[in-house]
């Protein structure tokens, strides 16, 4: 006797057919019936059905009638058919999906190929195991480049399981480099549009940007130094948060002016982007690090309407201490522009300051998230006299120091960075200053 139709290939899940040999005699039919009954009682999770592979002879027909047993169903053959092995659900790959993700899907599903579909889900091709292997072998034999397969920044971030710090979802189509040697001794071949993997060396980061790299990737969670913010052409995925000390600076995009307050923080290398999709008078503003995106009605929204929308963004002008202005009925159009603002020569880039004028302290620790990684922070109790105190914590739980009137404290590190500090008052609500410098 034989069983056919396992749980992976049968067309009707849960049904298993039990049969004897072809041209069955009485013992073949009786054994199929008995074995199906036995298996059904031992394995109630599946349905076992007795079948035959030929006609019932006269002797067997008499035995079935005498025992009042039903004749098994006729199964014309036991050869596998397409419907027995096909999959009703199958993983597919989108045509913009990274090869690495497709390969991992194939490995996880134990597949030799994966269908490729377009944005509408229509089949446009297949990715085979052979094609995937040949691709990797070919790339391993020559210097890596994205020229043959331009890749979006979003896809690269996804494959690297990283985080995009700055820039939009541009396409990178250059070569890929690892910058690992002293920039001053390097006759680098990095060129316009390339992608560069760097560490925590400021000279390597700066050189890569100056040579026109389209994408900077920092490894092992190392933040990009804010000192490279003086480079005017800002590539994707580069954080260019910086600041000014005593000199105001400004930049313009169409009829909008972004001006830094004399004592506050400017955004060096601000990318100001207009996109369509909104209605004039109801513009939508999104601020992410140094990227300002404003949805407008292209050709209809005016500078005055855009400036009003920017002014409604909670905390924007106070956090960055900038003034946004735009007056006039000139229509704004969809565009992207790098608006570079910088302080006077010698000003410490990466400078950030806030005070009680922006955020008042409470009796519980308040977390101040710094807008960039900092290697130095300063906290001061600005009370000239009295008993009001400022309590500082570097972890949000434990008190590190208590500052009386006129006292201050500073922290610095060469091996790591600060991304937040916690403050509260001990007595009263004192005037204070928090100052941070970028690495």
Containing domain of residue 180, as a range? Answer: 164-230
If you average pLDDT over residues 234-240, what whole number do you get?
28
> Is residue 13's pLDDT more than 60?
no
Do 271 and 334 fall into the same domain? yes
Mean residue pLDDT of the chain comes to 74
Q: What is the pLDDT at residue 169?
A: 78
Residue 149 lies in a domain: no
Do 375 and 410 fall into the same domain? yes
Do 66 and 97 fall into the same domain? no
Do 375 and 409 fall into the same domain? yes
> Is residue 235's pLDDT more than 90?
no
Q: How much of the chain, in percent, has pLDDT values that exceed 90?
A: 19
Do 40 and 58 fall into the same domain? yes
Do 120 and 45 fall into the same domain? no
Q: Which residue has the tokens 């010698």?
A: 346
Residue 158 lies in a domain: no
Rounded alpha-carbon distances, angstroms, from residue 155 to 158, 198, 299, 397? 5, 19, 32, 38
Do 256 and 316 fall into the same domain? yes
How many domains in the chain?
5
Contact in structure between 163 and 191 (CB atoms under 8 Å): no
Final residue in a domain of this structure, among 41, 62, 85: 85
Q: What is the pLDDT at residue 336?
A: 57
Residue 84 Cα to chain centre, angstroms: 40
Residue 332 lies in a domain: yes
Tokens of 273: 């982007």
pLDDT digit string, tens, across residues 43-91: 988 999 999 999 999 999 999 999 888 999 998 877 888 887 787 788 8
Do 55 and 20 fall into the same domain? yes
Burial call 246-275: b when 16+ CB within 10 Å, e when fewer: eebbebebbbbbbbbeeebbbbbbbbbbbb
If you average pLDDT over residues 162-168, what whole number do you get?
74
Residue 344 lies in a domain: no
């Amino acid at each position: 006797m034989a069983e056919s139709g396992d749980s992976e290939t049968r067309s009707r899940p849960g049904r298993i057919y039990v049969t004897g040999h072809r041209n069955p005699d009485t013992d073949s039919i009786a054994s199929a019936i008995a074995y199906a009954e036995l298996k059904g009682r031992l394995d109630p999770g599946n349905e076992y059905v007795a079948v035959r592979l030929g006609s019932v002879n006269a002797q067997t027909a008499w035995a079935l009638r005498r025992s009042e047993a039903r004749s098994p169903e006729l199964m014309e053959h036991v050869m596998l058919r397409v419907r027995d092995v096909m999959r009703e659900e199958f993983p597919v790959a989108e045509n913009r999906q990274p090869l690495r993700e497709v390969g991992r899907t194939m490995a996880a599903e134990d597949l030799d190929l994966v269908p490729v579909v377009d944005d509408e889900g229509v089949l446009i091709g297949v990715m085979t195991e052979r094609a995937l292997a040949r691709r990797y072998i070919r790339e391993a034999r020559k210097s890596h480049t994205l020229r043959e397969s331009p890749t979006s920044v979003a896809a690269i971030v996804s494959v690297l399981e990283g985080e995009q710090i700055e820039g939009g979802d541009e396409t990178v189509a250059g070569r890929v480099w690892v910058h690992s040697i002293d920039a001053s001794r390097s006759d680098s071949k990095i060129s316009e549009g390339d992608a560069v993997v760097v560490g925590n060396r400021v000279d390597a980061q700066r050189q890569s940007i100056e040579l026109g790299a389209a994408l900077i990737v920092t490894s092992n969670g190392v933040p990009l130094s804010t000192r490279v913010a003086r480079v005017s052409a800002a590539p994707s995925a580069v954080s260019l948060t910086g600041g000014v000390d005593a000199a105001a600076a400004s930049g313009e995009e169409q009829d909008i002016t972004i001006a830094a307050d004399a004592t506050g923080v400017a955004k060096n290398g601000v990318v100001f982007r207009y996109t369509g999709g909104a209605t004039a008078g109801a513009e939508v503003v999104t601020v992410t690090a140094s990227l300002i995106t404003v949805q407008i009605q292209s050709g209809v929204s005016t500078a005055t309407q855009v400036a009003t929308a920017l002014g409604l963004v909670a905390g924007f002008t106070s956090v960055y201490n900038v003034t946004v202005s735009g007056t006039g009925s000139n229509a704004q159009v969809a565009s992207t522009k790098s608006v570079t603002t910088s302080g006077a020569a010698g000003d410490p880039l990466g400078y950030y300051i806030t005070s009680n004028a922006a955020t008042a302290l409470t009796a519980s620790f308040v977390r101040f998230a710094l807008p960039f990684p900092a290697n130095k922070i300063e906290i001061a109790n600005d009370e000239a006299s009295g008993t009001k105190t400022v309590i500082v914590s570097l972890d949000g739980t434990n008190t590190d120091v208590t500052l009386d009137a006129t006292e201050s404290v500073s922290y610095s590190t060469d091996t790591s960075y600060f991304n937040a500090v916690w403050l509260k008052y001990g007595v009263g609500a004192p005037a204070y200053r928090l100052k941070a410098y970028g690495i």
